[in-house]
Amino acid sequence: MNGKSIILKVLAVVTFLAFGEMLVQAQPLGRYTQYNFNKLLINPAYAGTIEDVTSFTSFYRKQWAGIEGAPTNIALSGNGALGKRKRVGLGVYLAGDIAGFTNQYDLMVSYAYKIPMENGSIVSAGIQGGMFYYYADLINGTTPDGVPDNALGLERAWGPNFGAGIYYYKNNKYSVGFSAPYLMNYDSPIGNDTASLRPTDARRTQYILTGSYVMDVGQELKLKPSVLVRYLPVFSNPLQVDITGSLYIRDIFMVGTSWRLDSGVKPEAGAFLCSYRSPKGLRFGYAYEYSFISKVSGYSSSHEVMVGFDIGNTSKGYLEPRFF
């Protein structure tokens, strides 16, 4: 079986998963302002797309600092390419979403296959699969009037999940991706013995489209505009858009700004981003986000930290600059 037939079959699977009538619900994803630094969390086809590099990345995000029980997101991931021609990409990540008494963790393994195009670009198609674990400590939960509810207890649930995606890119120039990272959703296990799967309800499926382009604006400056479009059909405002502008200085430092638009037009949050990348592979990033949502505007600060390390798979003593 040649590479083109493989890619066509994977693309057919992705299309079925995205538009088939038997789609399953998608669970919400933790949102990261610095998603550009590790797209593996939103697209399994990203695995192994950085040539001759094995990449490890960690995220910590504290949303709406000052609100008790506000969401906290953590993620640890690694990915790289395998084989003599580096056509196969493998990745793995562990992500946790913690909010109030509830905790959810996802462990996902990604597989991607890459096909070089004549113009030097590459098409990568990927799938991922794994497990989620849901944990809610409701023993100390209270009713709206502040009185403890003895009916509340310790809730646990677990189950499988999977997703798929496509990623088209040319190293350090441009990239376009489309994915449905989580295709199975479960009803809340609170009050039930187990989480119940609803395999015929496609209304909560979400789709993610990303795009970015790098252009030279000076001898040692590069500008990268990028966009993330998230479509959640079940929401009253189903379209969410992140627009980011990043300025790279000497391929080492980055400063930028990001804006999240609700319904595609209404500002929901604005952010300042900065990062540093050593030629030896060590990476740091920080994002400060301000929310314009009226209900949380008094506690609007969100903080996000990224730490990563890239290991070169060649004899070079340094790593080429990377922008995706």
pTM of the model: 0.81
pLDDT in tens, 39-68: 999 999 999 998 788 999 999 998 877 676
Higher pLDDT, 44 or 138: 44
pLDDT at 57: 96
Residue type, 32: Y
68 CB burial (10 A radius; 0-12, 13-18, 19+):
exposed
pLDDT at 20 over 80: no
Instruction: Give domain limits for the chain.
Output: 3-312
pLDDT in tens, 87-102: 999 999 999 988 777 7
CATH class of residue range 3-312: mainly beta
Residues 6+ apart with CB under 8 A from 117: 123
pLDDT at 16 over 70: no
Q: How far is residue 259's CA from residue 225's CA, in Å, rounded to a whole number?
A: 12
Select from 205, 201, 115 the least CA-distant residue to 164.
205
pLDDT at 21: 31
Looking only at the bridges linking them, the beta strands covering 301-312 and 53-62 are antiparallel
Q: How far is residue 14's CA from residue 296's CA, in Å, rounded to a whole number?
A: 37
